[in-house]
Amino acid sequence: MNKTKKINFIEFTNADKVGVASIDNQHKSMVETVNKIYNSLLLSKESSALNYLKKFLELVKAHFQTEEKLMRETNFPGFYSHKLEHDRFYKQILNYTDRFHKEFQPIGKEQLEGIRKWFFNHLEISDKKCGKFLHEKGFS
Ligand SMILES: [Fe+2]
Ligand SMILES: [Fe+2]
């Protein structure tokens, strides 16, 4: 068996695009980074998993700022509930990062599954609604 084979823990397909390039590209990078965390853990490379988790935290932060800026600029009606979902998720990832970094408790498969679940729920319900609205406002 080829031990270096990479497994896609999360698959990002065209069906997952919201139609606004900046958002889609960030989602794609986030997914790729979660896959790197997963693969690092599979190979027991904990320090690399931690580095990717830190990178993921930064990507999440920048991504939420991007979406929130676009929503504010266009007076998106669902802004507050959308932002609340972002804030909760960010806190969760910050918590996983702190536990890994400061208390040496690596992120586990269950938590990665939680991230995957959150990502697709949020994407399907909130981000697509937001993407559609932005698209109507001329963003692509
Ligand atoms: Fe969002
Ligand atoms: Fe998003």
Residue 50 CA, ligand 2 centroid: distance in Å:
22
Tracing tokens 């190979």 back to the chain, one arrives at 43
73-104: pLDDT as tens digits: 999 999 999 999 999 999 999 999 999 999 99
Question: Measured in whole angstroms, how far is the alpha carbon of residue 112 from the centre of its chain?
Answer: 11
Residue 82 CA, ligand 2 centroid: distance in Å:
10
User: What does DSSP assign to residue 74?
Assistant: T
19-59: pLDDT as tens digits: 999 999 999 999 999 999 999 999 999 999 999 999 999 99
57-136 has CATH 3.40.50.1820 classification = no
Residue 3 CA, ligand 2 centroid: distance in Å:
32
Contacts by 82-85, CB closer than 8 A, 24 or more apart? 82/126, 82/130, 85/122, 85/126
Judged by average pLDDT, the poorest of 1-5, 80-84, 108-112, 126-130 is 1-5
Domain ranges of the chain: 57-136
State the pTM of this model: 0.95
Residue 67 CA, ligand 1 centroid: distance in Å:
6
